[in-house]
Amino acid sequence: MKALIEGFLKFRNEAFAQRTDLFKHLATTQQPGTLFITCSDSRVVPELLTQQEPGELFVIRNAGNIVPSYSPHPGGVSATVEYAVAVLGVTDIVICGHSDCGAMTAVAKCTCMNHLPAVAAWLQHAESAKVINESRPHADEAAKVSSMVRENVIAQLANIQTHPSVRLAQEKGLINLHGWVYDIGTGSIDALDADLRTFNSLIKQPGTCAVRARAAKAVA
């Protein structure tokens, strides 16, 4: 706790002091442009790796950057997605996996989690990704885990498109979907090109997008 308190004092005296006008503006409003969904892993810091200021990202974090498919009994992730899209009007959604993901490692290696029933139940939302990953050959365990991370991003992009708020925004041509994989050791990001079904370096191809906003349909 000492480190946290010291960090807060540094924030108050330095970072906050440098952004006084920004925080005064944010005190009564927020207009984030992007919903960023990523893992709870302590090594993944969305605002740091995207260099965004307070108020610019609306963030969901959980084990495995998972978005359950929409159901009659929505939970916290569904509620947050709905609020971000229907109320805040974000124009982009990023689902960001990462290297050395503990959740995806457990899924890929079929680790027994009888002692973690809540985690085991949660990771069932990655089952479709696991099925695809298991159907493919892998050079070694590391390659299998890396592939699982990517397949999970693809699966969660499919899941989020079952949410009514997202489908409506897509129908109106208001939202882009992005699938990223962040490499902790190199600081690089690979982004999904859904048409080619490949992950490309965001440095080399910064325009890569998983699902682009399409033109809204004309009403007859």
Which residues are known to be catalytic?
Answer: 39, 41, 43, 98, 101
Phi, psi (deg, nearest 5) at residue 54: -55, 140
Q: How far apart are CA 200 and CA 210, in angstroms?
A: 11
First-to-last C-alpha distance (Å) of the chain: 62
Q: How far apart are CA 152 and CA 106, in angstroms?
A: 13
Q: Are 70 and 14 in contact (CB under 8 A)?
A: no
Q: Are 158 and 170 in contact (CB under 8 A)?
A: no
Length of the chain (residues): 220
